[in-house]
Structures are given as C-alpha cells and as structure tokens.
Amino acid sequence: MLTINEHYLKLQASYLFSDIAKRVAAFQAAHPDVEVIKMGIGDVTNPLPQACVEAMHRAVDEMGTVSGFRGYGPEQGYEFLRKAIARNDFQARGADIRADEIFVSDGSKCDTGNIQELFATDVKIAIPDPVYPVYLDTNVMAGRTGGFKDGRYEGMVYLDSTRANSYVPELPREQVDLIYLCFPNNPTGSTITREQLRVWVDFARENRALILFDAAYEAFIRDPGLPHSIYEIEGAQEVAVEFRSYSKSAGFTGTRCAFTVVPRACRAFDSRGNKQLIHPLWNRRHSTKFNGVSYPVQRAAEATYSSEGKAQCEALINGYLANARIIRQGITEIGFHAVGGENAPYVWIETQKDSWEFFDLLLNKAGVVCTPGAGFGKCGQGYIRLSAFNSEANVIEAMARIKKALA
Ligand SMILES: *Cc1c(COP(=O)(O)O)cnc(C)c1O
C-alpha cells in the first residue's frame, strides 16, 4: 500500500487569492460599468528592460548556430553571470562574496523552499508573522510542525511584526535554529537597519543558528543607510544564506532567474555538534536536483549589470516607487497609519477593522482590490497591503477613489 506524506494534510488551503477573485467577480457582475483597479497583486506589470530583451535575442541566435550552440550548462550557473553578480551585487558594496559562492536558479520561491532540505527535521524554526507563505508551508510539508491551531502551526516560533516594534521582529526568547528574515519586507514594506541586522547576526552566532535572508526587494532600497545584503554585516558569512531574484528588480517574474548565496564559511552542525559546511551540501543538492537556468535567460540576467541595463532597471523601479509614494501619501492624508512604500513596492495599512471587511469596503465603495493582511498571518489581521505594481494613471485614479470613499 502506498501511503502519502501526511504532513501535506496539515496544510491550510490557501483561500486568499481565490477568495479575492471570487469577491471581485461577484462585484464585477453586479457592477459591470465599474472599472476595477487591482492593487492586490505581488507581480510586476512593466515590460522587460530593453537591454535584457536584446541580450536574450542575441543568445537565442547564438544557440541556432553550430559554434554558438550550448547544451546542458553548469548547474550552478554560467561563470559570466556568477562573476557579474559577485562583483556588482556584493563586492561593490564591500561584501566579500566570490563567484563560486553564487548558485543561479529559476526562482527564489524554489530556493527558499528547497534550502530547508539540508537541515534536520527536528530543528526549531523561527518565522515572521505576517509572512511570505512559502517559508511556512515548505516546513509544514517537511514535517517540522504540528497541526494548525488558532491560526498558527504548533511547534513553530512566530516572530511578530507589529506597530509596536515598527514591523521588525524582536529576538526570540527561546533557542531557535533556523531563522527566516525578509527585508525590505513582503508584505509590510518595512526595512531593517544595519544595527538591527547586526543583532540578528550576533544572535545566530551565539545560538549556533542560521539566518535565511530573503533580499528579493533589495533593489527598491533608496535610503543610503540601509543594508542591501546581510553580508554587509561583519560575521554574517558563517551564519547566513541570502536569496536574490531578478523577478522584482528587473521584471523577470515570467522570465525566471534568481540566485542563492551560500558563502564557503557558512556552517551548520551534525548531531554530535561538529561543524559542517553548508556550501558542499547545497552544491550537491543543486547539481543533483536542478539542471540550470537556460542560457538566453542567464544572458538576460547578465545584461541587468551593463550600464544600459542598470539605468533601465533603475527607471523601472523608480516608476514603482513613485507609485508607492502616491499610495502612502494618499492613505496617510486621510488619517490611516501606514508603513512601507519608501524602500519597497508595498504599503501596509492599519485598517482599524477586520482585514476582509476593509477589503469589501474598498471593493464596493472604490472599485479597488487590495490584499487582506490576514492572509499573511495572524499579525496581519487588521491590515491590508496595497501594491505599487501598476500604471501611474491607475494608482492616481485608485487613490482618488479611495479618498472619496473613505474621507
Ligand atoms: C516575489 C518574491 C520573491 C521572488 O520569487 P521568485 O520565485 O524569484 O519569482 C521572493 N521572496 C519574496 C518575499 C517575494 O515577494
């Protein structure tokens, strides 16, 4: 008899986006004349930077020639891309990361989900609340939690991000082994300072723990004082793995390219307490279970580091940040407490009522779709997330409607 992995049965069905779609469809059917503006999505809307399009075209043409054809590439990524990443994303910021510490992949979603395969089942996991659901669900699948009770999985340590701590969680009071952090944050748009990040790095060092640092929104940082990489913090190389993606920085959500940084010095322990390096384990996992990102896509990712590519990506992000500013200003003007939107494409808004109730209010009175904060965890109740991934005209129109509906 073939039995299933019963941990999958613990997973809470994610009704969030299907619930949103259902409510929007019902509203649209009742009000066919209203043009609904969708500000709920965490997906980019602008086309690819021209430099990336051209690089991809050139690479496809190369593949169609005898001399330029390439079959399987290195699983870890082509040297040209790994070198460009190490130089531009890390060394240029004073972080001593080498090309052979970069693992190119088809997405941070997969990487953040796959990395936990390297660790024992009984490790203690700390996860932020509200959270990007991938961190949580992949650990549930792996059997690292108990059942779901009162909105949370048993056995997990939740790191509350609330107004009281400015949406940067405090250190856990108990021993934890694996810590997920994401800054700039999805869904709150909050950021972490160097000093605050240093506290986490020191904690991981003292507690023989490891930090999984998701920097998917690093490119949105405009405040020059904020760290772009955890490796800007001294001592982080031994205790942190970092995830980066071209999805939000270059509009690659449909193109697919990302990378994970596993420094040579990064360590965990075996059951006898002996130090074990993570780099060879991840290298083994990656080369056994993954066969590399396509050559044209890696050339497109490389093009984000050319001078034209850098300027085009920056213009792309500046557009979204301008939208975020309009959202944040508009919502603050009518008296709501909000964070994010300054170094991130998301604005996190305290609603003073149930998340879904506020969702319905915005939909019915303004024809605007948001994401109810409760969908990201218990601490998201009483909040909504507005996303800046839209056209400027739509954002301006949406905020005018919201002001009229709520003021
Ligand atoms: C969008 C996003 C990513 C990127 O995921 P990809 O699989 O690379 O598209 C990673 N982490 C967070 C928190 C995100 O919101």
Residues in the chain, total: 407
CB 216 less than 6 A from any atom of ligand 1: yes
Confidence of residue 255 (pLDDT cuts 50, 70, 90): very high
CA of residue 206 to ligand 1 center, whole Å? 29
CA of residue 243 to ligand 1 center, whole Å? 9
Which pLDDT tens digit goes with each residue over 330-351?
Answer: 999 999 999 999 999 999 999 9
CA of residue 339 to ligand 1 center, whole Å? 20
For atom 14 of ligand 1, the residue with the nearest CA is 216
Average pLDDT in the chain: 97
Which listed CATH number (1.10.10.410, 3.40.640.10, 3.40.710.10, 3.40.50.1860) goes with 53-306?
3.40.640.10
Q: What is the mean pLDDT of residues 174-203?
A: 98
Q: In this model, does residue 17 exceed pLDDT 90?
A: no
Residue burial 231-268, b: 16+ Cβ < 10 Å; e: rest? bbbeebbbbbbbbbbbbbbbbbbebbbbbbbbbeebbb
Q: In this model, does residue 14 exceed pLDDT 80?
A: no
CA of residue 108 to ligand 1 center, whole Å? 5
Ligand 1 atom closest to the Cα of residue 111 is: 7
The whole-number pLDDT of residue 42 equals: 86
The dihedral built from the CA positions of residue 382, 384, 385 and 388, taken in this order, carries a sign that is negative
The whole-number pLDDT of residue 213 equals: 98
Ligand 1 atom closest to the Cα of residue 110 is: 7
The whole-number pLDDT of residue 399 equals: 98
Q: In this model, does residue 385 exceed pLDDT 80?
A: yes
- 151 against 103, higher pLDDT: 103
The whole-number pLDDT of residue 34 equals: 95
7-47+308-406 — its CATH code? 3.90.1150.10
For atom 11 of ligand 1, the residue with the nearest CA is 216
Map out the domains of the chain as residue ranges.
7-47+308-406, 53-306
In the DSSP assignment, the letter for residue 275 is E
Q: In this model, does residue 284 exceed pLDDT 90?
A: yes
The whole-number pLDDT of residue 16 equals: 83
DSSP, collapsed to helix, strand or coil, labels residue 177 as coil
Residues 261, 102 contacting (CB under 8 angstroms)? yes
- Domain 7-47+308-406 and domain 53-306, same fold? Reply is no
Residues 277, 267 contacting (CB under 8 angstroms)? yes
CA of residue 247 to ligand 1 center, whole Å? 7
Which pLDDT tens digit goes with each residue over 132-145?
Answer: 999 999 999 999 99
- CA separation for the pair 385, 295 (Å, rounded): 36
The structure tokens listed for 149 are 């009770």
CB 214 less than 6 A from any atom of ligand 1: yes
The whole-number pLDDT of residue 313 equals: 98
Q: Which of 129, 183, 214, 257 to mutate to test the pocket of ligand 1 (most atoms within 8 A of CB)?
A: 214
The whole-number pLDDT of residue 292 equals: 97
For atom 12 of ligand 1, the residue with the nearest CA is 216
Report the share of the chain in percent with pLDDT over 70: 100
- CA separation for the pair 387, 391 (Å, rounded): 11
CB 344 less than 6 A from any atom of ligand 1: no
Query: Where do we find the tokens 């649209």?
Result: 28
Residues 214, 181 contacting (CB under 8 angstroms)? yes
Report the share of the chain in percent with pLDDT over 90: 97
The whole-number pLDDT of residue 13 equals: 78
Ligand 1 atom closest to the Cα of residue 258 is: 8
The dihedrals phi and psi of 208, each to the nearest 5 degrees, come to: 50, 40
Confidence of residue 18 (pLDDT cuts 50, 70, 90): confident
CA of residue 270 to ligand 1 center, whole Å? 30
Q: What is the mean pLDDT of residues 191-218?
A: 98
Q: What is the mean pLDDT of residues 353-378?
A: 96
CB 245 less than 6 A from any atom of ligand 1: yes
Ligand 1 atom closest to the Cα of residue 253 is: 9
Q: In this model, does residue 80 exceed pLDDT 80?
A: yes
Q: In this model, does residue 52 exceed pLDDT 80?
A: yes
Which pLDDT tens digit goes with each residue over 222-242?
Answer: 999 999 999 999 999 999 999
3-state secondary structure 234-247: CCHHHCEEEEEEHH
Residues 104, 76 contacting (CB under 8 angstroms)? yes
Q: In this model, does residue 407 exceed pLDDT 80?
A: no
Q: What is the mean pLDDT of residues 176-181?
A: 98
Q: Which of 41, 108, 218, 346 to mutate to test the pocket of ligand 1 (most atoms within 8 A of CB)?
A: 108
Q: In this model, does residue 15 exceed pLDDT 80?
A: no
Residue burial 149-168, b: 16+ Cβ < 10 Å; e: rest? eeebbeebbbbebbeeeebb
The whole-number pLDDT of residue 114 equals: 97
- CA separation for the pair 166, 195 (Å, rounded): 14
